A and B are shown apart, each in its own frame.
Chain A
Amino acid sequence: MTAIQQLPPNTRTGSLLRLATAGSVDDGKSTLVGRLLHDLRVVLPDQLAAVERVSRERGLAAPDLALLTDGLRAEREQGITIDVAYRYFATPKRRFILADTPGHVQYTRNMVTGASTAQLAVILVDARHGVVEQTRRHAAVAALLRVPHIVLLVNKMDLVGFDKDVFAAISAQFERYLERLGVDDPTSIPVSALRGDNVVEPSTAMDWYQGPTLLTHLEDVPPAPDPAAEPARFPVQYVIRDGARDYRGYAGRLVSGVLRPGDEIVLLPSNRRSTIAGIDLAGRPTDEAFAPQSVTVRLADDLDVARGELIAPADAAPEPVQELTATVCHLSERPLRVGDRVLLRHTTRTVQAIVTELVHRLDVATLAATPAPGILLGNDIGRIRLRTAAPIAADDYAVNRHTGSFLLIDGSSGDTLTAGLIGGAR
């Protein structure tokens, strides 16, 4: 048993990192995730025994760690893959939530879903094949979703003789592509998920590589920008009233920035001004709230504020709009067309909307745009324009992942149709 397992993460200082993995079929992603869980002792002997038993039954010489992330029977029976499976692991430094997205079926939709909450994306390539079309798609999706950190894992280094030049060529090619996407400073790591080289344990076969292992990198990467650097955005979720105490507070989660009592604010889209009288954390006053805290805000003025309004600083507020341009990933089997009437869910606000234009469809592998495609199918990425029945207070997605994102929902079935990123495409 290693020290890693015996020491629970430090709850006082340990932070949380959300990451997403992507790789095409046979890049070894399941093996990588299995290796990570195995080497961090997340997999306990009762689970490992089950993997060993199944591996033996299938006539394998060694336990197949990919079995640890095997799908559900319902998926096998129905021939479907549920988009994202979540895995959890920890070191004394940090806790991790890994969104494991299947690469083969509906990869775009899956990766968009996994990447939407990720602070870091791990993209796998097979060292024998290098950067392939799938790699470019994964990188483009991660860039589009503004995942702050991108890591390229050049896997199966054991199958190319741990060759330094192979790794250097692949990582240089990848970095050139990311540059076109406007992403700088990616990290590339040579690994063998099968053997465990540079995943948790440093490799003994690649002394030419001086960089971090995947785990060290995950532990050290800065998790989130300082909330104070961004303007505050507080979508009102729910109004808390307590008649006995004459209490009325607006409950919500600060999605960016910092709020303090005394701050001059504006309510959007109603465009009313007020001052923050107090902020309560679990019913007790606090002198400051910062993202991503869930708090309750009290205002100095007796206003009737409802769910769906945004509280923003009076001097740094977004402009409410009814015409939107957005890059979207269409998620549903029901196609998206011009004239479609849908519900648009933006932060805590739901408004009716109509699709006014399909500007283009984007081939994420080549970044080539097909103008006026007429229709967007499931897994398509494209650019659309919308008109909403009531204004929404939105930011560009490039500026704020929360106030810059929305879902389109089918009003009759309630199904989620489309994920949208407001503003200009890269």
Chain B
Amino acid sequence: MRPTHAPPGDPRLPAARAGRGPRGLTHLGVLESEAIHIFREAVAELERPVLLFSGGKDSIVMLHLAARAFAPARVPFPVLHVDTGHNFPEVLSYRDMAVTRAGVRLLTADVQKYIDDGRLQERADGTRNPLQTVPLLDAIRAHRFDAVFGGGRRDEEKARAKERVFSLRDEFGQWDPRRQRPELWSLYNGRHRPGEHVRVFPLSNWTELDVWQYIGEEQILLPPIYFAHRREVFRRDGMWLAPGAWGGPRDGEPVQIRSVRYRTVGDMSCTGAVDSTARSVAEVITEIAASTLTERGSSRADDRMSEAAMEDRKREGYF
């Protein structure tokens, strides 16, 4: 019996044995079924799908769901990593292991290359997350991808609360609120003009807690940095950042060793760790439930720049 599904009927009840017992999916069962339905719709309706894969927990859950959606066949699309060059080494090795296990092809779009040949300029703050947009859009155009699976969740941020499951992007990758189509029932409309593409968000209705509970129930392996570990960190903008080749710390930012974990995984220069003693999924869930900060507020410097930071980046073609 798979744990995300309520048993079709309690064996102690005679009605259940007769096949008339109470059936129902748990909330995770409903979310899983919906996500699988979305994956299959996009693959059936569109020609060249790709899954954005960062090695972060949301993209790991997406790859897991995609494998379930198309089993026993292989996942019928490649994965794309937009590589900022500021990676946590643990996440990169996880990425390579996960794509090998899933039998999918890994493509990368390399921010460092763009900086090296002058197509992108390093920002003064050293943060590379906003620099991902151009390599991403170039990769979409070069491979003629028309469906791009992203791990965006509507609970993350208010610009995402109004996002569609099938989100139409123009030739420049831009999100135009006027062109977003009403989504009724579970009828998704993926029609687009040549050069346009559709971002598809199978985790739209999941919350951070759902993702963690699903990871727990499905026993999905995560990179170790999602759990409490001792690490050298320094304080910047109210977050614990890890020193690394990307440039931190500056003078006057003393390094100390603390027990921390990451709530999100992105570019090392702007992904902060939180103080934590949670070493298991269950302990992480307990910490999240008691947290007083949102996931992005606690660990993403780039989202705190302005109230509309996420909205602006989304309109420019960010995830």
- Are chains A and B native binding partners rather than an unrelated pairing? yes
* A contact set with B: CB distance below 8 Å: 1, 5-9, 11-16, 44-47, 50, 69-70, 72-75, 78, 80, 82-88, 90, 94-95, 97, 109, 112-113, 116-117, 223-224, 226-228, 237-238, 240-242, 245, 247, 251-253, 258, 280-284, 288, 290, 292-294, 296, 307, 331, 345, 348, 401-402, 405-407, 409, 414-416, 419
B291 nearest CB across to chain A (Å):
7
A242 in complex: contacting residue of B34, B41, B72, B186, CB < 8 Å: B72
Report the bound CA distance from A331 to B180 in whole Å.
12
Most chain B C-beta atoms within 10 Å of own C-beta, residue among A44, A74, A75:
A74
User: 1/0 per residue B1-41: CB within 8 Å of A?
Assistant: 01111101000000000011011111111111110110011
A16 to B25 CA separation, bound complex (whole angstroms): 9
Known: A5-B290, A226-B23. A83 touches B30 (CB 8 A): no
Nearest opposing residue in chain B for A411, CB measure: B191
B183 at the interface (CB under 8 A from A): yes
Interface contact B186-A86, CB-CB below 8 Å: no
Q: How far is the CB of A139 from chain B (nearest CB, A)?
A: 19
Could you tell me the distance in whole angstroms from the C-beta of B318 to the nearest C-beta in chain A? 14
Contact sample, A vs B, 14 pairs, CB 8 Å cutoff? A11-B216, A86-B154, A117-B186, A226-B22, A226-B23, A237-B40, A282-B2, A283-B71, A288-B8, A288-B19, A294-B34, A294-B69, A296-B71, A419-B182
Q: Which residues of A contact B257 (CB under 8 A)?
A: none
Q: Which residues of B contact A242 (CB under 8 A)?
A: 72-73
A223 CB → nearest B CB, Å: 8
Count residues on chain B whose CB falls below 8 Å from chain A CBs: 76
Q: Which B residues are CB-close (under 8 A) to A407?
A: 184, 187, 189
Contacting A at CB under 8 A, from B194-243, are 204-205, 207, 209-210, 213, 216-217
Query: Which residues of A are found within 8 Å of B205, using beta-carbon distances?
Result: 86, 88, 97
Contact A294 B33 (CB under 8 A): yes
B305 interface residue, CB < 8 Å from A? Answer: no
Q: Is the CB of A85 within 8 A of B162?
A: yes
A223 and B154 CA atoms in complex are apart in Å by 22
* Chain B residues, Cβ within 8 Å of A253: 33, 36-37, 186
Contact flag A47-B27 (CB < 8 Å), given A97-B205, A253-B37: no
Q: Is the CB of A224 within 8 A of B24?
A: yes
Q: How far is the CB of A401 from chain B (nearest CB, A)?
A: 7
Chain A residues near B68: list those with CB within 8 A. 282-283
Q: Given known contacts A238-B43, A247-B73, A282-B2, what 8 new A-B pairs fall within 8 Å (CB)? A: A15-B24, A72-B159, A72-B177, A85-B158, A240-B71, A241-B73, A251-B40, A283-B71
Contact of B213 with A8 in the complex, beta carbons under 8 Å = yes
Q: Chain B residues near A82: list those with CB within 8 A.
A: 162, 177, 180
Check B191–A409 contact: CB distance below 8 A: yes
Interface assignment of B102: CB less than 8 Å from any CB of chain A: no
The answer to whether A5 and B315 touch (CB under 8 A), given A11-B213, A294-B37, is: no
Q: Does B275 contact A (CB under 8 A)?
A: no
Complex Cα gap A331–B292 (Å): 40
- Residues of chain A contacted by B209 (CB below 8 angstroms): 8-9, 90
| Residues in A neighbouring B32, C-beta threshold 8 A | 294
Separation of A16 and B162 alpha carbons in the complex (Å) = 20
A288: which B residues are within 8 A, CB to CB? 8, 19
Cross-interface CB contact of A345 among B37, B70, B187, B292, cutoff 8 Å: B187
CB pair A247 B294 closer than 8 Å: no
Q: Nearest chain B CB to A36's CB is how many angstroms away?
A: 14
Among residues of B, the one whose C-beta sits closest to the C-beta of A42 is: B155
Q: How far is the CA of A322 from the CA of B44 in the complex (A)?
A: 24
Q: Which 7 A-B pairs have the closest CB atoms?
A: A283-B71, A414-B191, A16-B27, A282-B68, A294-B36, A116-B184, A95-B27
A7-B22 contact, Cβ under 8 Å, with A240-B73, A409-B189, A414-B191: no
The residues of A that contact B142 with a CB separation of less than 8 Å are none
- Assess whether B181 is in contact with A415, with CB atoms less than 8 Å apart: yes
Minimum Cβ distance to chain A for residue B259 (Å): 22
B192 proximal to A (CB < 8 A): yes
Check if A419 sits within 8 Å of B184, measured CB to CB: yes
When distances are taken between beta carbons in the complex, the residues of chain B under 8 Å from A258 are 19, 23
With a CB–CB cut-off of 8 A, which chain A residues contact B187?
345, 405-407
A258 CA / B71 CA spacing, docked (Å): 21
CB 8 Å contact bits of B279-293 with A (1 = contact, 0 = none): 000000100111111
Cα distance, A303 to B40, chains bound together (Å): 21
- A259: min CB distance to chain B, Å: 12
